[in-house]
Structure 1
Amino acid sequence: MIEQRKFVLNSWAKDFAEIIFPTINERWFSVLYGDNPPSRPNSPANAIIVALILNLTDDELLASILCDVRFQYALHTTSFKSKPFSDRTFRRFRERLYLYNLETGRDLLHEEMEAMANVFVKYFDIGPSVKRMDSIMVLSSCKKCPD
């Protein structure tokens, strides 16, 4: 167990748990859920958002969350008796975001990413002089290269 903890604390999970996770404003996403006390509690929105940031398929995410303690640590779910995710959690969350966007014109996930921009800039050590270069830019520049 001590060895496992050492690996987790020296991995990406520590930074996600301590830097990314706490900056997510879960209250913004409360509009996606009802106030019906007898219903099953929703999965924590901040944990879902951190999971979505990791950019894996739903199946990869679920398998990683259930089987990999680094993911559990990053999502603050190590103390949960049962994991707050199912095979439908992420699809349902994205569907609620989409329907809310259709109804209100607000993209809550985009707004959250915008609000977290400074955290990402600091975390990834991105300077103001760094320019994004994607495949389209490379391809267009290749057209200018001599044969």
Structure 2
Amino acid sequence: MAFVANDYNQISLNDSAFSLTQREKKFLAKSWAKAFAQKVFPAIDEEEFSVLYSDKAFRPNTPVNVIIGAMILKEMHGVTDEEILESLIFDIRFQYGLHTTSSMEQPLSDRSLSRFRERCTTYEAMTGIVLFYKDSCI
């Protein structure tokens, strides 16, 4: 898998947030999702994790900032991998927080998180470097 930085900061014309009522937008703006989308998500440095991916032109990776953001939300909400995936698919707050409201299909699969953790663990075993603890990661 080749590393490609995420461009999910662009909003498309078919963004699901546009179809919200004013009342729904107001509730979304008062939820945890707005602070997460504005403060936490942009602070995730995907480049730190590029070492986990090939330099060769393969299919692109699942966006690293979406994976890490989902892992943070998973811990915040005390849910399983499956539950965070379900939340991302069905709950606009999770989509808003992870900047995926413009996605036709949510970018995480049922194995995205476990494969990413596996890559991090393998990298740590080989190098002794824990990517999650690097200063500029989050």
TM-score (norm 1): 0.72
For residues 49-88 of structure 1, the aligned pairs below 5 Å read: 49-54=68-73, 55=75, 56-88=79-111
Distance between the aligned counterparts of 2:87 and 2:38, measured in 1?
Answer: 19
Structure 1 residue runs of 4 or more that deviate by more than 3 Å after TM superposition: none
Q: Where does structure 2 lack aligned partners over 5 or more consecutive residues?
A: 1-19
TM-score (norm 2): 0.76
Percent of aligned pairs sharing the same letter? 49
For residues 1-147 of structure 1, the aligned pairs below 5 Å read: 1-2=20-21, 3-37=23-57, 39-54=58-73, 55=75, 56-111=79-134, 116=138
- Contact in 1 for aligned 2:48/2:137 (Cα 8 Å): no
Distance between the aligned counterparts of 2:55 and 2:90, measured in 1?
Answer: 31
Which residue of the partner structure matches residue 8 of structure 2?
A: none
- Contact in 1 for aligned 2:87/2:94 (Cα 8 Å): yes
* Offset at residue 24 of structure 1 (A): 1.0
2:134 match: secondary structure? helix
Distance between the aligned counterparts of 1:68 and 1:36, measured in 2?
Answer: 35
Q: Where does structure 1 lack aligned partners over 5 or more consecutive residues?
A: 117-147
Structure with a larger share of its residues in helix:
1
Which residue of the partner structure matches residue 7 of structure 2?
A: none
Q: What RMSD in Å do the two structures reach over aligned CA positions?
A: 1.5
Give the structure with higher Rg (CA): 1
Count of aligned positions: 114
Deviates more, 1:65-74 or 1:46-55: 46-55
